[in-house]
Amino acid sequence: MSSNQPSEKLYLTTKLAFGAGDMGPALTANLLVFFLLPFFTNVAGLSPSLAGSILFIGKIADAINDPIIGVLSDRTKTKWGRRLPWIIFSAIPFGLIFFLQWIVPTFSENPGFNSTLLFIYYIAIGIIFNLFYTAVNLPYQALTPELTQDYNERTNLNSYRFSFSIGASILSLILAGFVFQVFQDSQQKYLVLGLVSTVFSVVPLFWCPLIIKERGYQPLLTPQKRKIVGYILVGITALITVISLV
């Protein structure tokens, strides 16, 4: 890199917002690793073989959609850039499908038939969730060169990202421990954990694209609107969290 190239310093608010973008994927991924299999077997009543098959099929679907969404993201052209629109439009479906993984619908009074339909339901949810997980996370991972060409600033951005990611992983276990202590009913505690975790995952996904902007493109919001949206997101998070725990 030429010594005459001007450095592209980023504001602290940009670095914080960028780091926050990894909270949703990190928090949800950690919860799924630790709690989804026990939920399938102990709450949904699926056999270990069926539960394991659901996770396996989800991983296969994830491997398929990764290169597809990667190519689509690279070819996206909007006035806001290539990556941010993917995050902003995928955040709500990402959170909704994540929450739907923690409910146990009753499809039939026949236990065997109901178990088969639950198996199909969780497969569908797993495939769709992995699709939106990729739609959020892959464009996010490609954001650093879209924000700055400065090597030091890119390194700094990644340090914020990893800090938020580790913090979200720890937060997921704290949330699970707290919810499991408050609620005794097995199905209810997973449902509440899913709802609270969804809020803590989706809100940062809006914080990220609404605050930062890609180089050479328009920001999604004006500075004044960013402040208003920030207050709204904080208020929604606090309100839903209190309602969930009451």
The structural domains of the chain, with segments of one domain joined by +, span 12-245
Q: Give pLDDT tens digits for 200-216.
A: 999 889 888 888 888 88
Q: What is the mean pLDDT of the chain?
A: 88
Average pLDDT rounded to a whole number, residues 227-237 = 68
Per-residue pLDDT at 4 exceeds 60:
no
Structure tokens at 95: 């959170």
Confidence of residue 50 (pLDDT cuts 50, 70, 90): very high
Superfamily for domain range 12-245: MFS general substrate transporter like domains (1.20.1250.20)
pTM here is 0.87
Confidence of residue 230 (pLDDT cuts 50, 70, 90): low
Output Rg (C-alpha) for the chain, integer angstroms.
20
Per-residue pLDDT at 16 exceeds 60:
yes
Per-residue pLDDT at 233 exceeds 80:
no
